[in-house]
Amino acid sequence: MTGGRLRPDFRHAGRITAELARRVATPAPIGMEPFPMTKSKAASKASSKKTPTKKAGDSTRLRPSQAAAIWAQVDRALAAAKSVDLSWIDPPPAPDGWTLTLDALRFVTAIVDELRPRHIVEMGAGLSTRVIATAGAKLRPPCAISSIDHDPEFGPGPSVNLAKKTACKVAFQFAPLVVRDCGGKLLPQYHFKHAKLASSRPADLAVVDGPPINLGGREGTIYQILGLARPGTLILLDDADRTSERSAVAHWQDTLGDAIEARQLPGFVKGMAAVLVIEPVQCDKLWDYKAELSRRELDRLIPRRERFVLIDQQWLVGQIAPGRGAIPFLERDGVFHGAPESDADAIAELERQRKLGTKYAVFTWPLFWWLDYYAGFHRHLRETSRVLLENDRLVVFELKA
């Protein structure tokens, strides 16, 4: 017992950081274009062989000139969308319904014409599938469309009908939602079969309109799409004005750094975000990618000569603080001594370290649950320290003397 509370064993739950739901509810504010980013770069695992630094011209990474050209195509599609004729849709979608609104469907039509993709992946099927297939049928050769949905009402019927009406190859999959570990967070993803996609080519364009927020939201989908992507894949996120979608984009940027570029596109009823893949990062590499981004941020924020409290329960110390003066918390004789029994114990240990001259305290994402569980300790930190950084990977406090 801990102050009348049962203290859960989060040794394993720490890696999945389900406690970040607290931060989904109160996301950092996001600007319009581009989305704000943390100043960090690529990834590798410090405890193993490091990933080579990406250089200009590396085929695994989009060059700045290529990225600029794609954003110019997005701008042209935004202008062209105003004249797209979708009068054949009867009745038109309601602005407050589940499907993409007319302005979004016009833009999707225009971006298909502009990018001329060979393979489109769609997360969330329905009317949008018909519109994409109609636009894709005009390309030469017609594109392949992989449409995925969790709802059996959107079963194989639409793809069969579309295959008859258009020249596109449309492959629909009913894919139940499952929970998967995405770099230390449990997120919903579609359980689909790669072999049943419409094409084995990487996706050139992806349209994300699912899962719905009441089934866990869309944060996990981009990590799935990155597994199908190439440098230059463009991902469109519908409903991007909602708090949950803005939070998802902010978390993607915290997790992926400069492996993506994200923009909030103007003029959409329910919002539309565009995410450009600069470097595809596989889902099973996210933990190490986040660790490397975090290591670089700590190197930027905390002078190497300074020791700091690392509230991490030994999850990441070898990856984000190799050779640094990281002090475990709780600490006895220089080694990790376990979690505090109460808020009072945590505060007492923090103040002991402060008196010893320690100037910083760092939470890593596996221990974000402490910020809720040890609420008194968290409140004490906020009242007696200055927040230097707070994102989806790290919270860094500068301890006031």
Distance (Å, whole) CA 56 – CA 102:
39
Considering the segment(s) 22-282 as one domain, its CATH architecture is 3-Layer(aba) Sandwich (3.40)
Phi-psi region of 152 (alpha: psi -120 to 50; beta: other; left: phi over 0): alpha
User: Helices 127-136 and 102-115 meet at what angle, rounded to 10?
Assistant: 30
User: Rounded to whole angstroms, what are the CA distances from 341 to 6, 282, 330, 374?
Assistant: 10, 38, 10, 10
173-230 per-position pLDDT tens digit: 999 999 999 999 999 999 999 999 999 999 999 999 999 999 999 999 999 999 999 9
- Report pLDDT digits (tens) over 249-300: 999 999 999 999 999 999 999 999 999 999 999 999 999 999 999 999 999 9
Which residue intervals of 268-320 are DSSP H helices? 286-301, 317-320
Cα gap 369→18, rounded to integer Å: 8
Structure-derived torsion over alpha carbons of residues 161, 124, 242, 218, reported in degrees to the nearest 10: -170
DSSP string, 40-63: ------TTSPPPPPP-TT-TTS--
C-alpha R_g of the chain: 23
Indicate the burial class of 164 (C-beta count within 10 angstroms; 0-12, 13-18, 19 or more): exposed
Q: Which of 107, 92, 123 is nearest to 245 (CA)?
A: 123
Mean pLDDT for each consecutive 10-residue tract of the chain (401 residues)? 39 38 35 35 34 43 97 98 93 82 96 97 92 92 93 61 69 94 93 95 96 92 94 97 94 94 96 97 93 94 92 90 89 89 96 94 95 96 96 94 71
